[in-house]
């Protein structure tokens, strides 16, 4: 048996993605400027989040200049090539209103829900990807895709309510199978034959949905919400099956990766996490190009990053607290190394999206990715200025190439603005001192 190494598999997949130039015979589907399908529909706009744990080193991350033509400090270097397609947001504050600063969760939850948590790691309100997914994600095969590069399905910060945390896919092989396995329908396939078994599967679900009235009858509010979520999940699958019964609209940028990745080691060692992340980035990019989902959540490292370097007794998180600031360098060299590696992964993710040509540009033109962390400077668990970056042009709905300093404004302003860009009809978001109706007008087009 020939063994295929992870590297070879990755190369093969990347090769597949890299040659994804709009196939000539599909050009006829596009209008002159390539932004709309000739049939009438515009290219879909997608949304995703990209998370890394343990923040950054303010002196090495925050650009010195604000506005356009901002400088690229050393920790941001991997994003240099994407400067014009990025908004860097610093100095926005998670305001906790006297609640404890739960280390590594208060900042994360504030960014994603606009509210500070009452308990550590408690996601009470829907996260921003859910709110946006409810608007843009209901017509694709998957409502959203969640992945974590560090091997733990619980490393996911996408949640509709308490107890409804979307589990992350941790294996590139499982992710590949889920997206491109037997149930995948190639949008560009010449022939289409609906499978009667899909219809039957759907009829099973419709019959189960009939149980709803009886099941919900005697429930208290909390249980009702939980079972509501079960039935919404069921409906979501019904919709997925519905889509499989229709001929999918063509997707010019969709090139189905041939053969899947090979399972490699999965875990918190940074080499493993980086390799897994690279594979997952390719799969997510192609899932978007193939219209399989419009929403995704990537976790490169968990909040309170458990990334570690082989042979070291100390994880990234521990280093942020333990390592002395090097007096000559002025920062913690080992902890900072992990920040640099995290930003390198973010750069790799951006490249994976940019490698896919769509219309007369790339996937990045038709999407928005919100990258953020759990803290500003992890050593002190500071949540004043948790770093956030917005990548992509969102179909022309956002002005990019800017560094914006929030000057201590509530960090929920970012989430509010992002929702508005993505077409969510909302004019006020967040709670307590983070409730805001003030969009970041500088980036709105």
Which residues inside 238-297 make contact with another protein, applying CB under 8 A?
A: 240, 267-269
- Bridge partners for 106 per DSSP: none
Of 5, 31, 65, 232, the residue at the interface with another protein (CB under 8 A) is: 232
Nearer to another protein, 120 or 396 (CB): 120
Q: How big is the CA angle at 385 (ends 384 and 391), to the nearest 5 degrees?
A: 155
Within residues 312-331, the interface with another protein by CB under 8 A covers: 312-315, 318, 321-324
CB atoms within 10 A of CB 382: 17
- Find the part of the chain contacting another protein (CB under 8 A) among 13-21, 77-85, 164-172, 351-359: 164-172
Q: How many residues in the chain? A: 445
Within residues 28-87, the interface with another protein by CB under 8 A covers: none
Nearer to another protein, 151 or 385 (CB): 151
User: x/- contact string, 359-388, with another protein (CB under 8 A)?
Assistant: ---------------------xx-------
- Find the part of the chain contacting another protein (CB under 8 A) among 73-81, 96-104, 336-344, 390-398: 96-104
- Residue 129 to residues 21, 84, 243, 298, Cα–Cα distance (Å): 29, 24, 22, 11
> Considering only CA atoms, which of 226, 115, 220 is closest in space to residue 165?
226
Query: What does the alpha-carbon distance between residue 109 and residue 120 come to, in Å, rounded to a whole number?
Result: 10
Task: Return phi, psi of residue 409, to 5°.
Answer: -65, 155
Q: Least Å distance between CB 432 and another protein?
A: 18
The per-residue DSSP string of 278-329 comes to HHHHHHHHHHHHTTSBSEEEEESS-SS---B-TT-SS-HHHHHHHSPPPTTT
Within residues 405-434, the interface with another protein by CB under 8 A covers: none
Token pair listed for 246 = 């229709």
Give the 3-state secondary structure of residue 98. coil
Does 340 engage in binding with another protein (CB under 8 A)? no
Does 195 engage in binding with another protein (CB under 8 A)? no
Query: What does the alpha-carbon distance between residue 26 and residue 46 come to, in Å, rounded to a whole number?
Result: 21
Does 177 engage in binding with another protein (CB under 8 A)? no
Give the 3-state secondary structure of residue 30. strand
> Considering only CA atoms, which of 326, 313, 324, 307 is closest in space to residue 379?
324
How far from the centroid of its chain's Cα atoms is residue 76's Cα?
A: 19
- Find the part of the chain contacting another protein (CB under 8 A) among 51-59, 230-238, 249-257, 401-409: 230-238
Nearer to another protein, 295 or 352 (CB): 295
Of 199, 329, 444, 445, the residue at the interface with another protein (CB under 8 A) is: 199
- Find the part of the chain contacting another protein (CB under 8 A) among 54-62, 63-71, 234-242, 351-359: 234-242
Q: Least Å distance between CB 134 and another protein?
A: 12
- Find the part of the chain contacting another protein (CB under 8 A) among 61-69, 71-79, 197-205, 433-441: 197-205
Does 163 engage in binding with another protein (CB under 8 A)? yes
Query: What does the alpha-carbon distance between residue 19 and residue 295 come to, in Å, rounded to a whole number?
Result: 24
User: x/- contact string, 133-152, with another protein (CB under 8 A)?
Assistant: ---------xxx-x----xx
- Find the part of the chain contacting another protein (CB under 8 A) among 54-62, 206-214, 364-372, 390-398: 206-214
Does 23 engage in binding with another protein (CB under 8 A)? no
């Amino acid at each position: 048996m020939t063994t295929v190494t992870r590297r070879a598999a990755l190369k093969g997949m990347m090769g597949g993605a890299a040659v994804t130039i709009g196939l000539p015979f599909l050009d006829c589907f596009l209008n002159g400027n390539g932004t709309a399908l000739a049939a009438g529909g515009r290219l879909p706009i997608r949304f995703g989040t990209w998370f890394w744990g343990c923040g950054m080193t303010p002196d090495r991350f925050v650009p010195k200049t604000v506005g356009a033509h901002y400088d690229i400090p050393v920790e941001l270097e991997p994003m240099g090539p994407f400067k014009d397609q990025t908004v860097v947001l610093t100095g926005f504050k998670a305001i906790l209103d006297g609640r404890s600063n739960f280390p590594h969760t208060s900042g994360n939850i504030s960014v994603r829900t606009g509210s500070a948590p009452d308990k550590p790691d408690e996601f009470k309100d829907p996260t921003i990807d859910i709110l946006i997914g409810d608007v843009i994600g209901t017509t694709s095969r998957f409502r959203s895709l969640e992945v974590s590069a560090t091997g733990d399905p619980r490393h996911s910060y996408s949640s509709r309510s308490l107890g409804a945390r979307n589990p992350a896919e941790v294996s590139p092989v499982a992710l590949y199978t889920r997206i491109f396995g037997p149930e995948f329908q190639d949008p560009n396939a010449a022939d289409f034959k609906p499978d009667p078994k899909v219809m039957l599967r759907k009829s099973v679900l419709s019959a189960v949905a009939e149980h709803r009235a009886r099941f919900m009858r005697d429930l208290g509010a909390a249980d009702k919400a939980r079972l509501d979520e079960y039935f919404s999940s069921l409906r979501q699958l019904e919709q997925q099956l519905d889509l499989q019964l229709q001929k999918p609209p063509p997707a010019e940028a969709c090139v189905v990766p041939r053969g899947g990745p090979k399972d490699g080691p999965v875990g918190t060692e940074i080499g493993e996490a980086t390799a897994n992340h690279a594979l997952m980035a390719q799969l997510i990019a192609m899932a978007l190009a193939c219209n399989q989902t419009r929403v995704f959540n990537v976790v490169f490292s968990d909040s309170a990053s458990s990334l570690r370097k082989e042979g070291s007794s100390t994880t990234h998180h521990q280093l942020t607290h333990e390592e002395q600031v090097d007096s000559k360098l002025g920062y913690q060299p080992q902890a900072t190394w992990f920040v640099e590696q995290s930003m390198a992964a973010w750069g790799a993710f951006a490249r994976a999206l940019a490698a896919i040509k769509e219309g007369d540009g790339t996937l990045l033109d038709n999407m928005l990715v919100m990258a953020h962390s759990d803290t500003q400077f992890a050593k002190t668990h500071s949540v004043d200025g948790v770093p956030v970056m917005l990548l992509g042009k969102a179909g022309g709905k956002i002005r990019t190439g800017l560094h914006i300093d929030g000057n201590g404004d509530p960090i929920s302003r970012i989430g509010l603005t992002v929702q508005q860009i993505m077409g969510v009809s909302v004019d006020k978001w967040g709670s307590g001192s983070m409730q805001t109706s003030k969009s970041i007008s500088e980036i709105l087009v």
